[in-house]
Amino acid sequence: MVIIKGDFSLLINPLCNFSNIIDYFKLSVFCFKSRMIKRTFIFAMVLLAGFTSLTAQDSPQFLGPKRNNTSPQKGILRSWPAESPQVLWTSNIGPGYGGPVVKTGKVYLLDRDDKTGDIMRCFDLNTGKELWRYSYDAPGSIQYPGSRSVPSTDGNRIYSCCPYGDLYCIDVNTHKPVWNKNIMKDFGGTKIPVWAITQCPLIYGNLLIVSYSRDPDAGLVAYNKLTGDIIWKTEAIGNETYASPTIVKIAGEDHLVMIFSSFVSRGRIIGMKPQTGKILWEYNDWENVIQIAPAFDAGEGRIMAVGGYDLGTAMIKVEKRVDGSYTVKELFKHNDFGDHTKPPILYNGYFYAQFSTNNKRDGLCCMSMGGKVMWKTIRKPNFDK
């Protein structure tokens, strides 16, 4: 979910209950109806003050323009009309759990037909007309079938990764692949993880970075985004993970941060130099059996991990020493706040997340920067997964 930032002081008050903030968390540009038989892609009109024609902030990658779960777009109305937002267009697509990206008036989505394979589809943002598609063979089905990831756009190329590890770079002008790899088979993997491969590619400078799968382990690899050549790769340094890599600022420098699950051994949060893959620091006491949400940059060297199997949340602080090495300190860790599938939203020093798992139904939760839970909606409203 991409939440629109702006002056929402009347809607969000961490010291109060949920009564006035439901509309804030409904403000997402895209809505999906996930079904086992078919899925309908719905583009809803964003309620902009003075709205006269369809405009939208580019959202070229997973979790928005800055990959941080927010958008800089402003002017969203504080409440919706009784008849709800106007649906501008719909398109039938296959079942799945991925999402679209938006770039210069076009919408890109990796769709899937388990009988044949994956389909990169491009739609006109204003009309919903399908402009082109590219498909490739990758048949197969798993429990909860369908797509798993969000593409990334960069220049005239779109990058995507399918549930079976096929990583594609496609030219948006020719609609043909420039290069493609397989991030399981190329690294000695012989079977997909239980819930398939779920990587949302990270573009960093001239690199495309993802986690590769070698069941039951995983590592990271950086490709030249233009050619597909491997620039660097790690060994299989953690347990199988469903999280994607992210960039976090530590002492003014970019660190590549990856969270690994804890189903074989304790989970790991690892910070690396994005240009080389060198490990700079690590935290080895994370406890989440199936890691889906990527790391979240909470500022000032603080990094938050969230999950739902069975923690919960943890916040660590990474600081740089005079000699260039790093210290890692755990600030808190508990099971009163978390998120099953995505990182939290940070607004005015408070975190907001939907903590609904196989064992918990805490609904929408608010937590302070210090780890104190301010309130939970529980089942009113439910905010179930």
User: Does the pLDDT at position 71 exceed 90?
Assistant: no
Instruction: State pLDDT tens for residues 39-49.
Output: 566 555 443 33
Give the integer Cα–Cα distance in Å for 204 and 207. Answer: 5
The two tokens of residue 96 are 């799945």
pLDDT bin (cut points 50, 70, 90) of residue 268 is very high
The answer to whether residues 348 and 341 touch, using CB atoms and an 8 Å cutoff, is no
- Per mean pLDDT, which of 5-14, 27-36, 347-356 is the most reliable? 347-356
33 vs 66, residue with greater confidence: 66
Give 208's Cβ-side CA count (13 Å radius).
29
Give the integer Cα–Cα distance in Å for 27 and 64. Answer: 14
Give the integer Cα–Cα distance in Å for 216 and 195. Answer: 12
pLDDT bin (cut points 50, 70, 90) of residue 37 is very low
Q: How much is the pTM? A: 0.88
Cα–Cα distances (Å) from 257 to 59, 217, 331, 356, in that order, read 21, 17, 17, 25
User: Does the pLDDT at position 33 exceed 70?
Assistant: no
Please provide the CATH number assigned to the domain covering 247-385: 2.40.128.630
Q: Give the pLDDT score at 41.
A: 61
User: How buried is residue 143: exposed, middle or buried, by Cβ count under 10 Å (0-12/13-18/19+)?
Assistant: exposed
User: Does the pLDDT at position 369 exceed 70?
Assistant: yes
User: Does the pLDDT at position 302 exceed 70?
Assistant: yes
Instruction: State pLDDT tens for residues 129-177.
Output: 999 999 999 999 888 889 999 999 999 999 999 999 999 999 999 999 9
Q: Give the pLDDT score at 270.
A: 98
Q: Give the pLDDT score at 38.
A: 52
pLDDT bin (cut points 50, 70, 90) of residue 9 is very low
Sheet containing strand 177-182, strands side by side: 152-154, 157-161, 166-171, 177-182
Question: Nearest 5 degrees, angle CA 305-CA 358-CA 98?
Answer: 65
Instruction: State pLDDT tens for residues 200-213.
Output: 999 999 999 999 99
Give the integer Cα–Cα distance in Å for 41 and 284. Answer: 40
Residue with tokens 């403000």: 27
Instruction: State pLDDT tens for residues 337-368.
Output: 999 899 999 999 999 999 988 888 899 999 99
The answer to whether residues 240 and 259 touch, using CB atoms and an 8 Å cutoff, is no
The two tokens of residue 6 are 């702006």
Dihedral sign (CA 324, 329, 331, 332) = positive
Dihedral sign (CA 43, 49, 55, 61) = negative
The two tokens of residue 341 are 């599938």
Q: Give the pLDDT score at 385.
A: 59
- Provide the percentage of residues in the chain whose pLDDT is more than 90: 69
Q: Give the pLDDT score at 18.
A: 38
Q: Taking the chain, what is the end-to-end CA distance rounded to the nearest angstrom?
A: 13
Q: Give the pLDDT score at 248.
A: 98
Average pLDDT (100-124) is 95
80 vs 333, residue with greater confidence: 333
pLDDT bin (cut points 50, 70, 90) of residue 231 is very high
User: Does the pLDDT at position 8 exceed 60?
Assistant: no
For the chain, the farthest-separated pair of C-alpha atoms sits apart, in whole angstroms, at 61
The answer to whether residues 261 and 241 touch, using CB atoms and an 8 Å cutoff, is yes
Give 244's Cβ-side CA count (13 Å radius).
26
Of all helices (H) and strands (E), which one includes residue 97?
none
264 vs 185, residue with greater confidence: 185
Helix, strand or coil, per DSSP, at residue 185: helix
